[in-house]
Structure formats: structure tokens, C-alpha cells
């Protein structure tokens, strides 16, 4: 269990210079659907270095590569595509500002997600005050998932989103990182600042709640 602290969003300048986190955790290859092809992390690192030196084209490449998954995560967290795009834009602007201090850390993507996760958490605060309104599904893609041949059940994304919206933020966050983003617990710890056992518990509770809400 790594002992470094998660970088807090508010003062990235003070983020510890972590260089020894297991990079293998980034290369999720066993499930290519949501995972990140290996080798992308290396390319990200090169692009991030170039962008840190002021290369806007390299930065545009980083945006192209990560924008979709970031929007997807934020949209699933917030229940609104519009909010998600705003949060992701804010996230990338912060990344651009902090890039001159970018020091490889543990890789570009965990760093990006650390910021994104925090932006989503801050974004939820005002929403939570709106009398716990039901999450509307405004603008989220409604394409059915690609048909699969195995025995796994097919979930309706809309029903799933509605069920997710009823979960506590921490559980939704952990569930999405684990099962939508296909991350391992070490990486999730690094991104969220929560311990592995706490994250496992959140995912477990989220699964239990979703199973109940999605039961036919």
C-alpha cells in the first residue's frame, strides 16, 4: 500500500513529487473495452512534457485522447452532459496551468483524474443543496451497449444512471472508477485519497444497492 498522499486539488503546487508508484497499474489490458491500451501512458508522458514546455499541439493531443473518458466519468457522476463538459473543461484548464510543474508524478492519467474527481466533488456541492433533486438525464448518450454473446445481463444505461444517482457520492465515485473506468484499487487510492479497504467497501455497498434497485 503506497504511503504517499493524494495530491490535493487546491494546491497542486504543493503536490508531492511521486515518481515511484507502480506504473503497471495504469496499463489495464485485461479488459480493453474500458481500459487503457498499454503504451498510451508512455505517449501521454511525452505529450505532457511537450505541453509543459508550452507546446499547445501536444496539449490538444492530450485533450483528444482523454476528453471522452473524462466527460463520460463526469456525466455519470453528475447526471448531466452539460455539467460534465463544463467540469472537464475546467479540469483541462487547471491541468494546463499546472503542467509547468508537472513532474511525471505517477503518470498523466492518474493526475488528470485526481483533478477531475475533485472537480466533480466540488461541483456536486451546490447541486446537493438543490433539495436532492432527482438527477435528470439531460443529454447523456442513449446508445445501447454493443451486443455481447456471453451470459452477462444487459443493463439499460438510463435505468443504471437513475440508480447510480441515488447512491452516495463516494459510492458512485468508487463504483464508476472500479467498473466503468476499469481501474485497480491502488490507482483508485492514488486518485481519490481513500484507502484500499474503504474503496472496496464503497464498491461493495454500491453493488449491493444497485443490485437491489435494478432487480426485475
Partner 1 sequence: MTRDPLTDEQLGIAAGRALRAGEWSRPAARAAILAAVAQERQPRSAAARAWHWLTTPRPIRLSPAMGLVMVAIVAGVAALLRPRPAAAPAVAVAPAAATLPRAAHVTSTPTVTRLTHFALLAPDARSVTLVGDFNNWDPTATPLRRVDGTWHVDIPLAAGRHAYAFVVDGGEWVPDPAAPREQDSDFGRSNSLLLVQRS
Q: Give the span between the Cα atoms of 199 and 213, in whole angstroms.
A: 21
8 Å CB contact between 88 and 67? yes
Rounded to the nearest angstrom, the gap between the alpha carbon of residue 5 and the centroid of all alpha carbons in its chain is 18
The answer to whether the CB of 56 falls within 8 A of the CB of 43 is no
CB-wise, 21 or 48, nearer to partner 1? 48
User: 21 or 77: whose CB is closer to partner 1?
Assistant: 77
**Considering the complex, what minimum distance in angstroms separates the CB of residue 128 from partner 1?**
22
CA 142 to the chain's CA centroid: 20
Chain residues that interact with partner 1, rule: CB under 8 A: 31, 33-34, 54, 56, 59-60, 63-64, 67-69, 71-72, 75-76, 85, 88-89, 92-93, 96-97, 100, 140-146, 148, 152-157, 160-161, 164, 175-176, 178-180, 182, 203-204, 207, 210-211
Shortest Å, Cβ 207 to partner 1: 4
Distance CA 125, CA 121 (A): 7
Residue with cell 455497498: 205
Q: How far is the CB of 25 from partner 1 (least distance, A)?
A: 17
As measured in angstroms, the least distance from the Cβ of 170 to partner 1 is: 17
As a whole number of angstroms, the distance between CA 75 and CA 78 comes to: 5
Toward partner 1, which CB reaches closer, 13 or 146? 146
Our CB check for partner 1 shows the closer of 43 and 85 to be 85
Amino acid at each position: 500500500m503506497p504511503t504517499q498522499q493524494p495530491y490535493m486539488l487546491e494546491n497542486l503546487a504543493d503536490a508531492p513529487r511521486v515518481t515511484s508508484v507502480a506504473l503497471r497499474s495504469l496499463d489495464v489490458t485485461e479488459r480493453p473495452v474500458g481500459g487503457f491500451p498499454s503504451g498510451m501512458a508512455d505517449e501521454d508522458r511525452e505529450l505532457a512534457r511537450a505541453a509543459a514546455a508550452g507546446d499547445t499541439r501536444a496539449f490538444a493531443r492530450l485533450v483528444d485522447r482523454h476528453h471522452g473518458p473524462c466527460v463520460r466519468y463526469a456525466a455519470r457522476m453528475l447526471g448531466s452532459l452539460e455539467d460534465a463538459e463544463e467540469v472537464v473543461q475546467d479540469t483541462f484548464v487547471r491541468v494546463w496551468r499546472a503542467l509547468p510543474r508537472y513532474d511525471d508524478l505517477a503518470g498523466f492519467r492518474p493526475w488528470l483524474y485526481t483533478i477531475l474527481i475533485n472537480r466533480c466533488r466540488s461541483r456536486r456541492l451546490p447541486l446537493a443543496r438543490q433539495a436532492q433533486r432527482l438527477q435528470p438525464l439531460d443529454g447523456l448518450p442513449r446508445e445501447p451497449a454493443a451486443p455481447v454473446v456471453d451470459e452477462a445481463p444487459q443493463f439499460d444505461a438510463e435505468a443504471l444512471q437513475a440508480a447510480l444517482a441515488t447512491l452516495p457520492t463516494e459510492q458512485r465515485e468508487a463504483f464508476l472508477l472500479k467498473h466503468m473506468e476499469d481501474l485497480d484499487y491502488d490507482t483508485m487510492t492514488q486518485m481519490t485519497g481513500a484507502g484500499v479497504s474503504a474503496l472496496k467497501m464503497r464498491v461493495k455497498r454500491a453493488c449491493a444497492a444497485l443490485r437491489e434497485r435494478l432487480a426485475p
